[in-house]
Homo-oligomer: A and B are copies of this chain.
Amino acid sequence: MDITTYMHQIGQQARAASRLMAKADSNTKNRALALIAAAIRRDAALLREANEQDLAAARANGLEAAMIDRLTLTNKGIATMAEGLEQITSLPDPIGEITNLRYRPTGIQVGQMRVPLGVIGIIYEARPNVTVDAAGLCIKSGNAAILRGGSEAIHCNRALAKLVREGLAGAGLPEQAVQVVDTTDRAAVGALVSMPEYVDVIVPRGGKGLIERLMKESKVPMIKHLDGICHVYIDDKADLDKALRVCFNAKCQRYGTCNTMETLLVAKSVASEVLPKLATLYVHEKVELRCDNESRHILASYPFLKSATEEDWRTEYLAPVLAVRVVTGVDQAIDHINSYSSQHTDSIITEDYSRAMRFLREVDSSSVMVNASTRFADGFEYGLGAEIGISNDKLHARGPVGLEGLTSVKYVVLGHGEVRK
């Protein structure tokens, strides 16, 4: 069977399964999640064996250490996957809720019912835990899922897919509600994003290269973010202690995450006080600072100093590197952010009420913060309970996307024979 025929078959099966998933009640969906979690615990040894096959191939192919790290499934990782599913069972079921049901002057009642999107296609790289997390979120939200993991993880994903099917069947749900694409042929990705008749939304999880490619190719809407160029602006009315704490955390708590600060903006009148103090924190972590003229002058003795170029304002380093710019005040800070930010997460440090309110209103990003670390932009931290990804598009879901982002609302009209006049 050629790859397009195979993917169309998967799509048709997913569409059919999605109709049954949309009708499933909460207990049934939770039972499936619990059965999958139990099967994962039971088959931990088999999963590790499958993972060993993937790791052996990865080593033979000379994959880089970071990739092998992401690919590795430890006993702890297996336990975490099972716990993640059990956490999803405890989240409220969004499906079927009817809101704003009100009588209209004509006599009809009009409200909105929350419903699944239908079929979700998820495209990701080496991490096998995404297979289970994504399956869990799609099942709970009444969707069918088509999962296309990285070819490096094919053995492990195949083993996980078997356990997911077992759990679905055990709860009386269609096994094809979660399908793992069982081929390493890269054409499968192209086919998956080209069948809007079977797939309602694509969630790509991976590097910028993958997502840029999919943006060009996809005929299906996506919930995605391309990069996270996050800013912290230290205002001249900032509490210095909060500024130091937040800016150290936002850069250094983790380097590889999309909500890490990549550019620091500092108000001119406090720059010569704040920057040297921040430098005494960053120097321990060997953070390279890429400075504009003014901040370079202030930080002249800092050992890991470079001059910033225009390109630095547009760069997501994902590394111990930080761009630094001195600005005249909150206006220039907002201008800089709205020009260069990737509309992910931006934070102001200030004790000034009006500037805080202006920053919240005027910065056009999916998360805007006052006196908090950008690292908080996360589904768990926001109380969504789980996260399929973060969106920095404006349509549909914006910011961390949990179960609700995998749903839509339709209008329901309850009448008594009313007609339009």
A413 contacts the other chain (Cβ, under 8 Å)? yes
Asked if A414 meets B22 with Cβ closer than 8 Å, knowing A201-B395, A383-B102, the reply is no
From the candidates B118, B201, B250, B411, name the one contacting A400 in the complex (CB within 8 A). B411
Asked if A410 meets B398 with Cβ closer than 8 Å, knowing A361-B22, A376-B420, the reply is yes
Contact partners of A246 in chain B: CB under 8 A: 415, 417-419
From the candidates B106, B117, B242, B413, name the one contacting A367 in the complex (CB within 8 A). B413
A375-400 to B contact mask, C-beta < 8 Å, 1/0: 11100011100000000011110111
A245 contacts the other chain (Cβ, under 8 Å)? yes
A311 contacts the other chain (Cβ, under 8 Å)? no
A408 with B383: CB separation less than 8 A: no
Identify the stretch in A108-116, A131-139, A156-164 within 8 Å (CB) of chain B at 4 or more residues.
A108-116
A221 contacts the other chain (Cβ, under 8 Å)? yes
A362 with B19: CB separation less than 8 A: yes
A253 contacts the other chain (Cβ, under 8 Å)? yes
A347-372 to B contact mask, C-beta < 8 Å, 1/0: 10000000000001110111111111
B410 with A368: CB separation less than 8 A: yes
In the complex, A375 Cα to B104 Cα: how many Å? 14
Asked if A118 meets B399 with Cβ closer than 8 Å, knowing A106-B376, A419-B249, the reply is no
A263 contacts the other chain (Cβ, under 8 Å)? no
Which residues of A93-148 are within 8 A (CB) of B?
A: 96, 102, 104, 106, 108, 110, 113, 115, 117-118
A321-346 to B contact mask, C-beta < 8 Å, 1/0: 00000000000000000100000000
A49 contacts the other chain (Cβ, under 8 Å)? no
A409 contacts the other chain (Cβ, under 8 Å)? yes
A360 with B113: CB separation less than 8 A: yes
A273 contacts the other chain (Cβ, under 8 Å)? no
For A360, A365, A383, the residue with the greatest tally of chain B CB atoms inside 10 Å of its CB is: A360
A239 contacts the other chain (Cβ, under 8 Å)? yes
A370 to chain B, nearest CB (A): 5
Contact partners of A368 in chain B: CB under 8 A: 113, 410-413
Asked if A118 meets B364 with Cβ closer than 8 Å, knowing A201-B395, A398-B408, the reply is yes
A416 contacts the other chain (Cβ, under 8 Å)? yes
A23 contacts the other chain (Cβ, under 8 Å)? yes
From the candidates B241, B373, B394, name the one contacting A420 in the complex (CB within 8 A). B373
Contact partners of A201 in chain B: CB under 8 A: 394-395
Contact partners of A104 in chain B: CB under 8 A: 381-383
Asked if A417 meets B371 with Cβ closer than 8 Å, knowing A395-B221, A411-B399, A412-B360, the reply is yes
Asked if A19 meets B113 with Cβ closer than 8 Å, knowing A249-B420, A382-B411, the reply is no
Contact partners of A360 in chain B: CB under 8 A: 113, 412
A200 contacts the other chain (Cβ, under 8 Å)? yes
Contact partners of A108 in chain B: CB under 8 A: 372, 376, 381
From the candidates B239, B371, B398, B408, name the one contacting A409 in the complex (CB within 8 A). B398
A416 with B383: CB separation less than 8 A: no
Of all chain B residues, the one with the shortest Cβ separation from A405 is: B395
B245 with A371: CB separation less than 8 A: no
Q: Given A110-B383, A365-B410, list of 9 further CB < 8 A pairs? A: A19-B338, A104-B383, A110-B382, A249-B419, A366-B411, A369-B412, A370-B414, A371-B416, A399-B411
5 smallest beta-carbon distances between A and B, as pairs: A372-B415, A242-B417, A249-B419, A375-B420, A369-B413
